[in-house]
Every structure is written in C-alpha cells, then in structure tokens.
Amino acid sequence: MRPERPEQHHRNDQYDQHEDPFAERPRRSGRFRVAVAGGAALSLCLVGWLGWQALANSSSDRAGAAAPRSSAAFSEGDLLDPSPAAPGSVAPSGAGASAAAGSPSAAPSGSSSPGGRQLAGRTVLLDAGHNTGNGRHTSDIAKQVDIGNSRKECDTTGTSTDAGYSEADFTLDVVHRARQILRDRGATVVLTQDGDRAWGPCIDERARIGNEAKADAAVSVHGDGAPGSASGFHVIMPSRVVAGKADTSAIVDPSHRLGVLLRDGFKAATGEPYADYIGQQGLDTRGDLGGLNLSRVPKVFIECGNMRNSGDAKRMTDPQWRQQAAQGIADALTSYLTTS
C-alpha cells in the first residue's frame, strides 16, 4: 500500500480592521495636526508589520503541512508488486484474499516483513518433500532406514495431481519461494535438497541435515495423496518418542508451538480449509515419521492440501496460490523465531 498523502491544512488569516486615520475630523491647530499625522504614520507602520508577520506565519504553516513524508515511512512491502497470476490461475478467496489485499492477519504480510532483517543470525531448515528423480531410483529409495522406534523406506516417490503435477515439483517450488522471503528477512536458509540430487535424500539424512545445521526451526513441505473426496491441509507435529536413535523429548513442546503458528499462518495466507479427513482443526501428531523422530531441532510437516482432490489440485497448481502458501510458511517461521 502506498502511504496516504498527509492532509494539507489551510488557514484563513483574519486581519484586524483599523479605523482610517485620515477620516474627516474637526479642524485643529497646526501643532495638533502634526501630532495626529505622526501618530497615524506610526499606526500604519505597526499595521504593516503585523500583516507581514501573519502572512509569513501562514506560508510557513502551509509549507509544513504539505511537506512530503520521508522515504523512511515506506516499508519494504510497499515497494513490492504481487506476482502476476498465471493464465487460468485461481483468484484467492476467503482469508487468502484478505491476506493478499493487505488485510491484517496473524503474521506479517508482503514478501518482506516491515521489521526489515529481523531474522539475522537465525537458521531455518526447509525440507522439500520427495524428489522428482525418485521414480527412476526405486531400489535406492526402497531400502530401509532406522527411525528409532521402527524401520521405514528411505523415501517414496510422493503423489501427484490427476493431471500429473508431481508433489516433488510442488514442494520444491514452494520451498524456493519461502526461502526468498526468509532470506529477505535476514535468515540463513538450509535446504535438504535443491533439485540437484538424482534421488532422495533418505528421511534419516533429511533430519540429520537440520541437526548438523543447528537450525532454529525446520519445516518439511508436502502435498497429500488421500482419496479424492478428502480435502484441506494439516500440520503434523512430533509425538514424544524415546527409542533407539530417536529422542524427541526436547522438541515436542517447541514443535507444537511452531505447528500451531504454521497452521494459523498458512490458513490466513491461503484460505485453505483444515483437512476434513485427518487430525483435528488442522493439527495432527505422529510418532512414525523418521524426519520428525530423528530431529534434534523443532520441526513440523505441512501437508499443504490433497493433490488428489480436484479443488485442492486446482489451487496447488496455481503459481499465485503457491506464493501465498510460501508466504504463510515464512510468516509462521518468522513469528516463531521472533517470539521464542
């Protein structure tokens, strides 16, 4: 939003009306007429000086009121244009439309926060779920890895929309968008993969990357593959797991706080409803995900929508909506890191 122009105040200066010193008078002696003329001259000088002062003050007041605002009054977000919608894109609705229009929300809006680089010195891990190359490396991703309380596949191929838009493409695009917002706010952003690996990484390595980076917070981005009748998004938080390599005792509480902020921020930014098929009010807790079990830093997953549902799929394939999704994720992380 462009700042409003300052209101200009105009004054109507009122001048005192003085009696005319040269009006007709009874005749007086010469000495008296000289005295009167002298007094009249002094009066005229006084009136002229007062009028000049009033005009000067009036001009000063008007100039002060019309002075432009300093450039410091503009936030970074004022200078950014929203990304143009792709042909056939979905117009945001509900809470998402309000967020896009700059309406107040639970988290900062715009691709850069008004507070500037308030995340300087903080490290964030963004985990783009799956990999577009996983389908060509099925034997590699099928190997079992230890997640503490069980063993699971290294990774999976992920899901896709009915039209073939893959979860791996979706997650990497959203992560790239969120990374830019967070970098603009001063954060160091670490990715588990940047489309630069043939497959993977495995779920245990994804957790290890965040641990080794000593991330202050981590979010794993996904799209769900539930039955087509199901819709909505949900956030998955770690349950308390103490078994083998896993010990989530220290991260359960902060991860829960991050999860609630992410749920609220994502809904505010996108307008996406809570999942109607899993969890409660957009939140779920699990102890069977290696990326959470093995994490030593506060971490949550977000299933941004059900890619098998036609309505969710239409939104998730829209670049404008994906920008809103990234905004919700970045805003939630910003809220978490600036209040923890």
Active site residues per annotation: 303
| Residue 280 Cα to chain centre, angstroms | 25
Q: How far apart are CA 175 and CA 198, in angstroms?
A: 18
| Residue 49 Cα to chain centre, angstroms | 58
Relative to beta strand 144-146, strand 151-153 is antiparallel
Tokens of 176: 């790239």
* CA-to-CA dists, residue 228 to 121, 142, 161, 169, angstroms: 43, 26, 10, 20
Q: Are 236 and 290 in contact (CB under 8 A)?
A: no
Q: Are 296 and 250 in contact (CB under 8 A)?
A: yes
Q: Return the C-alpha torsion angle 225, 262, 301, 201, nearest 10.
A: 110
Q: Exposure string (b/e) for 8-19, b if CB count within 10 Å is 16 or more?
A: eeeeeeeeeeee
